[in-house]
Amino acid sequence: MRFRMVWAAVLSLAVLACGSPGSAPQQAASPSPAEKGELWTALQATSKMKVLSGRRDQPTQATIDLPAGTGPHITTFSPDGRYAYVGGMGNGDLDVLRADARQVVATLHLGPAGTHQVKPSPDGSVLLAAQVATQTLVKLAADVAHERWSVAGSLSFAQLGRAPVCTIFRDDGRRAYVSLNPSGLAIVDVAAMQLVDVLPVAGFIACGMVKAADGRSVTIASSGGGGHVYRLDTATDRLDDLGALGAPDWHSFNMTADGKLGVGSVPGGDEVVLVDLTGGQARTAAVLALHPTPGVATDQPDAIGIRGGTAWVSLRKSGKLAVIDLVKRAVVTYLDLAPPADSINPANCAGCALHGVTVRS
């Protein structure tokens, strides 16, 4: 009798530790709701920035006021995170902010309007600004030690009838890959500011380019075929086709740090697509509705920020920020950050309540 009681206790502990016989493996733990770092979100219509920190579902919010008409679109950060670079789609300016103090320390006027994204090189010494209105990629020298930034060159795409949109650097900083509107991926020699080649892609890439942690490849998603995924080899500049996903439409793309899961936004469908990137072909892993507002295309998911197992997606029409648990593949909550937009221009996001969402580590 004593033996049977001990054996039963052992079996009970085993079940508690491992689950009942035949049960499915337990899902990986979800990310902690208390997140480190900050999330910078651009309120384009009102020329403000919201900086979120703390719990992902109940963050602390701070507001940065930029000059009226700035139309902040995308924020990037210097490699050390000390400086924020904010492109002004409304006035064509680049605003440089001390990130900790959240204060503007320099403003450069780069065009009449349409400064879309300003991307720093891996060592932070060079910035490439996509100036949509003038169809020009502007090179800037960054002397962060003295807080001086200056124009150091440019490359026009006017002869191609295309405009630069977003940039990603090779790890050595000598070559940059620039998405073009209405289509194409430009390869640029950064030192000479010369066009090396233009690779054809299906549709419009926007800012859907994410470099792998080892720097050897860039995963790209364009709008053709409702999300057409490619992988670029940064050593050879070869572009491999991973297939199309067939979403109703497509805009932004981001990817987890391990390169296994992509997230793409579908504005017209008020949804995001989770993309399995583990095989030789990209495939849809899940589709999540991001549609807290009644009506058709009333939320319009746009830009995507990812840290760990959490994704934040700006809803450019309704002014909300969706918080997604990528482990559970579920929406955690919606954060109200800005008044909803009455109307927007999808070509330049003029009037968009929210746009860029960038994680600052």
Pairwise CA distance, residues 230 & 226, whole Å: 13
Q: Residue for token digits 């992509």?
A: 262
- The number of residues in the chain equals 361
Positive or negative, the CA dihedral 258, 27, 57, 266 is positive
**Closest C-alpha to 142, from 99, 91, 89, 78:** 78
| Residue 140 pLDDT | 98
**Ordered strands of the 103-109 beta sheet:** 72-77, 83-88, 93-98, 103-109
**Is the dihedral angle over the CA atoms 211, 42, 353, 327 positive or is it negative?**
positive
> What pLDDT sits at residue 209?
98
Structure tokens at 6: 């001990």
* Chain center to CA of 258: 16
Q: How deeply is 135 buried, as exposed, middle or buried, from its count of CB atoms within 10 A (0-12, 13-18, 19+)?
A: buried
Specify the pLDDT at position 196. Answer: 98
Q: Name which CATH class applies to 204-355.
A: mainly beta
| Residue 188: per-residue pLDDT | 98
Mean pLDDT by 10 residues, the chain (361 residues): 38 33 33 70 98 96 97 98 98 98 97 97 98 98 97 98 98 98 98 98 96 98 97 98 97 97 97 96 98 96 98 98 98 98 94 97 82
- Rounded CA-CA distance 342/319 in Å is 11
* Nearest residue to 181 via CA among 132, 137, 218: 132
Does this model's pTM top 0.95? My answer is no
pLDDT of residue 361: 82
- Bond from prior residue into 182 cis (ω within 30 degrees of 0): yes
